[in-house]
Amino acid sequence: MSTSEAPQVTVYNVRTCTTCRKLAELLEEKGVDFDRVEYHVTGLQEAEIRELLAKGGLGPRDVLRKREVKARDLDVDSLSDDELIAAMVDDPALMERPIVVRGDRAVLARPIERVLELFPD
């Protein structure tokens, strides 16, 4: 798949994550070129998180990494969406991974096969 024919694919991942590595293998097997964003290292701004959520039709609770120790410490039920997003800006590890963006669409690739929704052809 050439990049001139298809929208750019970006994977928001953590290289040490087993699911992220399996997703990368699947994309490589399918011949999909993609860029990686190590969001837990670089961080994400509020606008970036909001854009990811909008492209995926997701809310912040949908991408909250509930098994993360810091997420368990949050009183999620008492937080607004804006407060959850602010917490994700402060600590990107609170976001579930991998999130894959292609053009104006995004999916939380859990399970990894969900990424295939972005490639109907």
Residues classed as catalytic: 17
CA distance 1 to 107: 20
> Half-sphere exposure of 106 toward its Cβ, with a 13 Å CA cutoff?
23
- Note if the bond before 98 is cis, omega within 30 degrees: yes
> Half-sphere exposure of 59 toward its Cβ, with a 13 Å CA cutoff?
8
